[in-house]
Every structure is written in C-alpha cells, then in structure tokens.
Amino acid sequence: MKHVPALGILVIGLLALALPYRVAGQTDPFVVQPGDNWAALAMRFDTDEASLRALNPHMNRTRQPAIGRLLAIPEGASERTGRLLRVGDGGLLQTAARQRISPWALATLNGRESPYAPTFFAPLHLPGEGTIRDLPPGIRTMELSAIPALPGQALGLRGTTEANATDIVGRLDGLDIAFATAANRFAGVVGTGAFYAGGEPELVIRTGDAPAWSQPLAFDKQEWVYQELTLTGQAAEIDQQARDEERARLRTLWTAVTPTPLWKEAFQTPINDYLEVSAGYGARRSYNGGPYLTYHEGVDFSAYAGTPVMAPAAGVVVLAEPLYVRGGAVILDHGLGVFSGYYHLSAVHVAVGQSVEPGDLLGEVGTTGLSTGNHLHWDLLINGIWVDAAQWQAQGLDCWLLEGIGEACVPPPTTG
Ligand SMILES: [Zn+2]
C-alpha cells in the first residue's frame, strides 16, 4: 500500500511531462511564415493567444513566433479565412463603415457582444478570402526565399502591396535590406556573412509613416570547412596597412547602392575553362598556425594563365585596376546592392563606368596580388556583406527577385 501514492505521483509526473509533447505530436507540423504572429494565428484557428502559447512551450513567450520554426496548432482546428486589421484609430464602427459591413455583423464575427463596446486596440477579423496574417501595414502578401535562412547566403523578400508601394524600408539584425518596387510589387535582398551568429534576429519592415512591423526570423546552422594554410616568401609578408586601406576603399564602393536591379538574367559562371573549384566560400582559415580569424570570401577557380573571365550578368564596372591584395581587379555593380568581384587577373579589359552584358570579357586569369598560383577569385556582396556566389546561382535568387517585381528573367544557359 505504501508505494501506491508514490506510483500515483510518478504517473501524474509523467503525464505532466508528456502532455505538451502529446498534443504537439498529434498536429501536423506547421512552419511559421511571415505574418504568422500570435494574434493572427489565434484569429485564423479560432482560438486565443494564451492557448496557442500553452500548446507551444518551446517558443519564447515574450516574442512573436520566429519565421521558419515549427509550431503546434490546436488539434482538429479548422482554418478561417479573411483579413486581420489593426484598428488603432476609429475602432470597430469606423472600420465597419469603411468596409461597408454591418457593425453588428462585424462585432459578432469578432466575438463581441456589441459594436459599441471598447476594442482596446485588439485586431479585427474582416471577412474575406485569403490566409489571415499580420503583415506590415499596406502589404498584402510577403514571402521569403529561404525558410529558415542560412548564414553566408543571400535572403530575398518579395510580395504585393495594397496601393503602389514606393517607400518600403527594412532591416535584418541591423543589416539594410535593399528594396525595388514596381506598381504593387516589391522585392528586396539582404545578405549575412559566413561568421553570422544566426539565431532568431528581428526582421523589421516599415511602410510609409506606419509603425515598424517586426517578426523574428529563424536561421539554421551551417557547417563550414576549416583550412590551415602556410604562407611563405612574399605572401607571408603582408603589409597590414596596405591591406586595410584596400578594404576601406572597396567598402565605400560596395555600400553605394543602385536602387534598381541592373541584371536581366540568371548569373552565369564567370569562367568556362577551369581546372577545378579549388576553394569554396566560407572556409575558416588559419594562416601559419594562427587562430581562425578569417574565412574565404569568394569562390576560387584554378585555371591556366590567360583564361578569359566574363561578366556573369549585366552590370556597370565600378573598379578596374591592380590592387595590393587582390591583384588585377574588376568589380561590377549589378544594382540592388549586389556587387561581384574578379581578382588576381593578369590583364583587365574593361574600364570604370562601362556597362557590361553577360559573357563580356572582363580580363584574364593570373596570379597577381597575394596569390600563390593562377586562379580566379570570384566574390559576391549584398549590401557590403560577402555571400556565397555559387549558392546565389544555385538558389536562383537572381530570377526570383526580378520576377518579384514583374520583370522577365533570362534563364541560365543549358549546358550540354
Ligand atoms: Zn580566393
């Protein structure tokens, strides 16, 4: 008899432990999308925010659900359609008048006894088609190119707006998002580097004079290669001041954003005849036994000296000259904060200010600057941050962004 209460406590304890997981396990995995915050999800699944939070003990209660994370929704919940409207001013009566709905019908839909009761700024459910989401004011739909996001890659945002959107600004963890708009469409891009900490930074978007909208965005972990390199001779004697000056000068180029995309096509690989991709983007590098303080910022193609290097997409030449570290260098501005660079060239065949088309000759492979053999170092920056150029191609973000603002995109050439 003595052990029965102990058993009872054990069973209750196990039930308490198992309960949140049992409920979560019986619902379909639901991936949080932009605008799926607690208020919108509660409205959509006809429940309340407290119940949703209780169903999701793994989520941070003090923040909105992070885009890209899995969320449990109530078992057997049916999904309602419509629109979520924030009514900071005017309240239910004015909203009903503007939307040409009976105030009593709107009150009933929102579970209120009377349209004359105070609303306390609670969002209103408006009847209609579509998924209920709490998006930035004036934005009708919004999608991200990758959910969850990954460090070292470009991230695209695109969508549609209520009226012509010309004043969208945004930031991801303090990084500016470059936006292009056309009629009622928008597309924007931001890049995080290979050292980016990830986690769940805030995605912040502001339209016009409206208050800023924000939602956390989940990042997945990325695995990186670790390389130990040994520098000898001239390459070992790096003039740190010359190196810093070069970087500072390039930074002023990379942060000058041309507000519209200049490219019209999928980015081609800038070299046809190469031996191998000798180093990928993001590899952590230790020089002569030192700490891993840097990573490889581009993609290396080993090739014979004199091999043609071509523009991968349309753009404007913003730099064409020999540099201390990068050697013979060409930098292209592709617009929307996207820049590409071609380094260690033995010859440069373009001039600053020149517009280039995909396939145009930029220069020839060499081993100038701090280089230990003939190769092309190709890099890609978004708003001054190095991203993986090979991933940019693989993601198809070039066309995804153009299509986002209703522009045609020439697909990548078929290799045969
Ligand atoms: Zn390189």
Terminal CA-to-CA distance of the chain, rounded, Å? Answer: 80
How many other CB atoms are found less than 10 A from the CB of residue 228?
Answer: 12
Q: Residue 82 C-alpha to ligand 1 middle, in angstroms?
A: 51
For the ranges 23-37, 177-191, 400-414, the lowest mean pLDDT is seen at 23-37
> What are the pLDDT digits (tens) for 374-393?
999 999 999 999 999 999 99
How many A from CA of 340 to the centre of ligand 1? 13
Give residue 343 CA to ligand 1 midpoint distance, Å. Answer: 8
Please give the pLDDT value at position 10.
42
* Region for 57 from its dihedrals, namely left if φ exceeds 0, alpha if ψ lies in -120 to 50, beta otherwise: alpha
> For the chain, what's the residue count?
416
CA distances (Å), 366 to each of 307, 309, 324, 349, 379, in order? 8, 10, 14, 13, 16
- CA 279 to ligand 1 centroid distance, Å: 7
Give the Å distance between the CA of 287 and the centre of ligand 1.
14
Distance 221 CA to ligand 1 centre (A): 23
Name the H helices within 280-415.
389-395, 397-404
User: Which protein residues have a CB closer than 5 Å to ligand 1 (ion)?
Assistant: 300, 377
Contact 151, 191 (CB under 8 A): no
Distance from residue 331's CA to the centre of ligand 1 (Å)? 15
Sequential DSSP letters for 130-164: EE---PSTTEEEEEESSSSB-TTSEEEEEEEESS-
Q: How far is the CA of 227 from the centre of ligand 1 (A)?
A: 13
The predicted pLDDT at position 337 comes to 96
The secondary element (H helix, E strand) that includes residue 82 is strand 81-85
Q: Residue 14: pLDDT above 70?
A: no
Please enumerate in sequence order all residues whose Cβ is within 8 A of that of 322, keeping only pairs 6 or more positions apart, or say none. 328, 329, 348, 368, 369
Q: What is the chain's alpha carbon radius of gyration, rounded to the nearest angstrom?
A: 27
Q: Does 317 have pLDDT greater than 50? A: yes
